[in-house]
Amino acid sequence: MQTPTVELDRIISDIWAAMLGLTLEAHHDAPVFPTDMRVATGVVQITGDFEGAVTIQLSEQKATEVAALMFAMEPEEIGDEEVSDAVGELANMAGGNVKSTLAGSCQLSLPSVTSGRDYHVSVPGTVVRDRIGMTCQGQLVVISMLAREQR
Amino acid sequence: MKILVVDDSKAMRAIVKRALSGLDRVAGATIMEAVDGKEALGVVQAESPDLVLSDWNMPEMTGIELLQALNDAGITPVFGFVTSESTPEMHELAKTHGARFLVSKPFTPASLDDALAGAL
């Protein structure tokens, strides 16, 4: 199946606006985090007629702020569990919205979340088809779509 | 009125509960939570909620499996999905099993209220 054209920037902007009340702006530099920054990544995989994954990445600091908004708590009250839950749900919403644009029959996995410094996320057998950087209050948010390599 | 919110994400349950708390349509309702369909089935049997708002994709028991289990048990609260996935096939499957609406994430309180207006 041809990799479809998906408006990742619109999908992530809609999620940010509706769920967080925040505006995302275009990021004009390469969507790369500093190697010394702790970054949280949420991943959902899509299987079926389209095979691939959707990831969302943001700094742990921004992830904590986002989790605080989702839980209506202060950032100081947010722990690792809340950050993981919030980032996973952001990935789930992004993946679900991507899936809704795909033709054919597809299934969405449950989200998984990881966090750390200077790491690379890969889903075996897939390549990055699109990677969009946006900024939220000056901090980078990256959404990527991975698709299984054509044989 | 009793409302059961079913989602494996604690953050999403908090967002749905917060949205409900601002809606005049369900003012004063008691809002309960469950982390998946399996837990929700037990809560429905014990508490008989008037409205169930459920995610679709969850571990243990999915939202559509929960709805099927409720139908099999002859328990028929007003049931709606709040889910990130929203394909025509899912709308049809939800409707076939008696769901009253499917609200797509991300949602706003207004879109949730619109869905409830047609179901309550």
**ipTM of the complex model:** 0.92
Task: Strands of A1-151 (E only): list them.
Answer: 25-26, 38-48, 52-59, 106-108, 112-117, 126-136, 139-148
Residues from chain B that touch A95, judged by Cβ atoms under 8 A, are 84
Q: Do A97 and B18 count as a contact with CB atoms less than 8 A apart?
A: no
Q: Is the pLDDT of residue A56 over 60?
A: yes
Type of residue found at B119? A
Band of pLDDT at residue A151, cut at 50, 70 and 90: low
Å between B106 CA and nearest CA of chain A:
5
DSSP-derived pairing of the beta strands A112-117 and A106-108: unpaired
List, in order of start, the domains of chain B with CATH numbers: 2-117 (3.40.50.2300)
CB atoms within 10 A of CB B76: 10
Residue B106 to residue A37: CA distance in whole angstroms: 28
Q: What is the pLDDT of residues B16-64, one digit of tens each?
A: 999 999 999 999 999 999 999 999 999 999 999 999 999 999 999 999 9
- Bridge partners, B52 (sequence order): B4, B79
Please, is A70 exposed, middle or buried when counting C-beta atoms within 10 Å of its C-beta (0-12, 13-18, 19+)? buried
List, in order of start, the domains of chain A with CATH numbers: 8-29+39-148 (3.40.1550.10)
